[in-house]
Amino acid sequence: MAAKKKKGEPKGVYKYYEVSGDSAKSKKAVCPRCGNGVFLAEHADRQSCGKCGYTEFKK
């Protein structure tokens, strides 16, 4: 019997992770306190976390 190894299976979780990571890099900043998955809200002169209240001022 030949062992079957499936390669290239569609993995929804992996795909979601990839897209999420890319968008986080290019657009949204992640809260350093809350960690991955919690993004900072965009303001004119700053970014703030709605969860813990962390605020980061833009230069």
Judged by the rule CB under 5 A, the positions of this chain that interact with Zn ion are 31, 33-34, 49, 51-52, 54
Q: Toward Zn ion, which CB reaches closer, 10 or 53? A: 53
**C-alpha span between 6 and 41 (Å, rounded):** 41
Q: How far is the CB of 12 from Zn ion (least distance, A)?
A: 27
* Residue whose CB is nearest to Zn ion in the complex, by number: 49
Q: How far is the CB of 49 from Zn ion (least distance, A)?
A: 3
Burial (CB count within 10 angstroms: exposed 0-12, middle 13-18, buried 19+), residue 48: middle
Residue 57 is given by DSSP the state: E
